[in-house]
Amino acid sequence: MALCCDLGLVPYAAAHRLQLDLVGRRIAGALDRDLFLLVEHPLVFTLGRHADRGHLGLSEAVLRERGAELARIERGGEVTCHNPGQLVVYPIVHLRQARLAVRDHVARLEEVMLQVAADCVVKASRDPRNRGVWAGGRKLGSVGVAVRHGVAFHGLALNVVNDLDPFSWINPCGLAGVTMTSLAIESGRPCALTEVKTSCRRALEQVFARRLEEIPSHALRP
């Protein structure tokens, strides 16, 4: 069994601090089960630990004028965007205990997004050249992870009903000219985020082969 918590709309910095705290507890054994956090963020651009700031098409000052946060973090990968209407999942997973390689963990996160897309009648696929999931050559979801003492964190970001215009301000995932898309665009119908979250929980249970116990956010306090 693993734990699952829907945090709702949370500023990126607060969610990042929570992740680091939970990772520390998972490493120490104070948190004895893996945990999946479901969250949305206000507009923020995150850069992986080796990301090239040249992939930001606008200056940091202009991004902030447009209401965006900017954060450099521990995950791999380049720059990406999070905003409301995008489903972000942060799995705190002890890879060492599960004897799971990082590449297999990433593949599981992609599989979760593929299953959610299928539930929304969207045909999505992997691209062997670029991690994440794609629909008709357009990028639908991204993956970026970090690992600390055998515990993986960060995770996936799936575009559901979010505004895609901010992606045009950057080279998403370091890919110039890439077109972003969403479940709403690809399905041609409104996609309720609550329904997508339910689909995501089912996919997490199936792909990670464990039942999820839903817990309130206050239960995550030390």
Stretch 99-103: mean pLDDT: 96
Question: Catalytic residue at 200?
Answer: no
Question: What's the pTM value of the predicted model, to 2 decimals?
Answer: 0.95
pLDDT, tens digit, 9 for 90 and up, residues 48-78: 888 777 878 888 888 889 999 999 999 988 8
Q: How far is CA 172 from CA 31, 46, 105, 151, 207, in A?
A: 34, 10, 22, 26, 26
End-to-end CA distance of the chain, in Å? Answer: 20
**Residue 91: domain span:** 2-220
- Kindly give the residue spans of alpha helices, DSSP state H, lying in the chain: 12-28, 60-65, 95-98, 102-119, 183-187, 193-208
Average pLDDT, the chain: 93
Q: What tens digit of pLDDT does each residue of 40-54 get?
A: 999 999 988 887 778
3-state class (DSSP) for residue 129: coil
**Which residue is catalytic, options 4, 81, 120, 173?**
173
pLDDT digits (tens, 9 = 90+) for 117-150: 999 999 999 988 889 999 999 999 999 999 999 9
* Number of domains observed in the structure of the chain: 1
- CATH number of the domain residue 145 falls in: 3.30.930.10
